[in-house]
Structure 1
Amino acid sequence: MTSPPLRLALADDQILVRAGLRALLQDQGLVVAIEADDGQSLLDQLQPGSVDVVLSDIRMPGLDGIEALRALRARGDEVPVLLLTTFDDADLLLRAREAGAQGFLLKDAAPEDLREAIARVAAGETLLQPVSTDPVRARYRYRDEAPPTDTFGEREVAILRLLAGGYSNKEIARTLFLAEGTVKNYVSNILDKLGTRDRTRAVLKAITLRVI
């Protein structure tokens, strides 16, 4: 039996961008059930269970994507949210994660990457993606550029890349054929070497320092 297509809410203040995204998503068998040109319009239309994933621009006039996400979570709606950005603000990723976003993607991502990202967050995964491209790194530097306290082994770099993809410890363990406790120890060592207190900041600093 074929699963029903995923239903999406799409929010972007630029009409042409929104139309292009809608056409792209529909071509991939997805249903755009709600369209909004700002965060408030998105909130007004969303009802619990009405969509499987919210795909929203971050920068919109009035209520932006992150503020809309905070309001959504405050009223108890846990629908997965995938935020789109051009990545020109060094605080966006941290703000998005802290607000409760499941995913974070560059607007110039390939169509197949967008489709995969939607499917992953709909399935309950998280996605942190953009990672280590030079244009991103050039515009998005982590404020702490102190060097690591030690070098990184091949396994640690592999784990950092998976962290940058939004993988949980359990998913990393499964991917690398390690015990989950071993992965937890690796992550702890990575945080110590980078002098960061959480996974998101570790990834951002690793990108800035070209560890990944």
Structure 2
Amino acid sequence: MSGLRIALADDQALVRAGLRALLEQQGVTIAFEAECGESLLRRLEDQPVDVILSDIRMPGVNGVDAVTALRARGDLTPVLLLTTFDEADLLLRARDAGAQGFLLKDAAPEDLREAIERLAAGESLLQPVSTDPVRARYRYHDDSAPVDTFSEREVSILRLLAGGYSNREIARSLFLAEGTVKNYVSVILDKLGTRDRTRAVLKAITLRVI
């Protein structure tokens, strides 16, 4: 990943300092730091970068608004949004605006490094995936399978959760009873070790389950 130029946006100076230290240890050049979306947009006009790493929540122009503004002016620089927030509307709005990826702020350093590499290479952490390789990777082998395995049905439901569908809408899409979907969602949350749907989607994206 040596040679990559990153724009780093976060309203917390300590967070920026920590991310800068981490990334510079891995050979990444921080082209500039921004404390808000307005500053990020302004600096990008004359300082192009390979990847934008931004907090999703900032005062004024937040990460979602910044992505929207960038795409509106024709700037297609890949954007990786960092979040700690359980807000499905922000997650879905950012995806629709044109963000290429999300990562929880407590993700492991190697996950951050890999995410940046993938975005710089033109990939997306949010692109749809075939359920076949997912099934192969998360297949049940026996009754004592680890809790981080997922059936094809669970992967399908996770992908619909990522699309913002309610339990009722998922039930209609998959021809299941709403109560059955509710049970599936509960199992998915348990397997991912999360307490709500938004964190489940974020974690599933990070783990490349969806």
- TM-score for both structures, normalised by structure 1: 0.64
- Change in 2 beyond 3 A, CA 1:48/1:174: farther
Partners of 1:13 and 1:38 within 8 A in 2 = yes
CA separation of 1:172 and 1:26: change in aligned 2, threshold 3 A:
farther
Partner of 2:95: 97
* 1:44 Cα offset (Å): 0.2
Q: How does 1:21-170 map to 2 (within 5 A)?
A: 21-47=19-45, 50-128=48-126, 166=127, 168-169=129-130
Residues 57, 83 of structure 2: 8 Å contact kept: yes
**Identity rate of aligned residues, in percent?**
58
Specify whether residues 86 and 114 from structure 1 end up closer, same or farther in structure 2 by C-alpha distance, changes over 3 A only.
Answer: same
Q: Give the distance between the partners of 1:108 and 1:56, measured in 2 at CA.
A: 14
Partner of 2:187: 210
What is the CA–CA distance in structure 2 between the aligned matches of 1:127 and 1:69, rounded to whole Å?
16
AA in 1 matched with 2:17: A
Q: CA deviation at 1:92?
A: 2.0
Indicate conservation of the 8 Å contact 1:48/1:77, yes or no. no
Instruction: Name 1:145's counterpart in structure 2.
Output: none
Cα distance 1:102–1:32, how it changes in 2: closer, same or farther (>3 A)? same
Indicate the SS of the match to 2:53.
strand
Partner amino acid, structure 2, of 1:62: G
- Evaluate the alpha carbon distance shift between residue 41 and residue 208 of structure 1 in structure 2; reply closer, same or farther with a 3 A threshold: farther
Is contact 1:81–1:102 with CA below 8 Å preserved after alignment? Answer: yes
Q: Are the equivalent residues in 2 in contact too, given 1:53–1:81 (CA < 8 A)?
A: yes
Letter paired with 1:64: N
Q: Which residue of 2 aligns with 1:200?
A: 163
Q: 1: distance between equivalents of 2:55 and 2:102?
A: 10
**Structure 2 match to 1:16:** 14
Cα pair distance change 1:120/1:61, threshold 3 Å: same
Structure 1 pair 4–47 and aligned structure 2 pair: CA distance change class (3 A): farther
Q: Is residue 11–residue 38 contact of structure 1 (8 Å, CA) maintained in 2? A: yes
List runs of 5+ in structure 2 lacking aligned partners.
138-151, 171-180, 192-210
Matched position secondary structure for 1:78:
coil
Query: Following the alignment from structure 1 to structure 2, what is the Cα–Cα distance between the partners of residues 124 and 21?
Result: 22
The 2-side partners of 1:117 and 1:4 are apart by 14
Checking the alignment, whether the CA contact within 8 Å between 2:8 and 2:52 is kept in structure 1 is yes
Gaps of 5+ in 1: 129-165, 178-188
Superposition deviation, residue 36 in structure 1: 0.2
Report the aligned-residue RMSD.
Answer: 3.4
Deviations 1:42-68 (A, max 9, x none): 000003771000000011111101001
Asked if the contact 1:49–1:79 (Cα under 8 Å) also holds between the matched residues in 2, the reply is no
Number of the residue aligned with 1:147: none
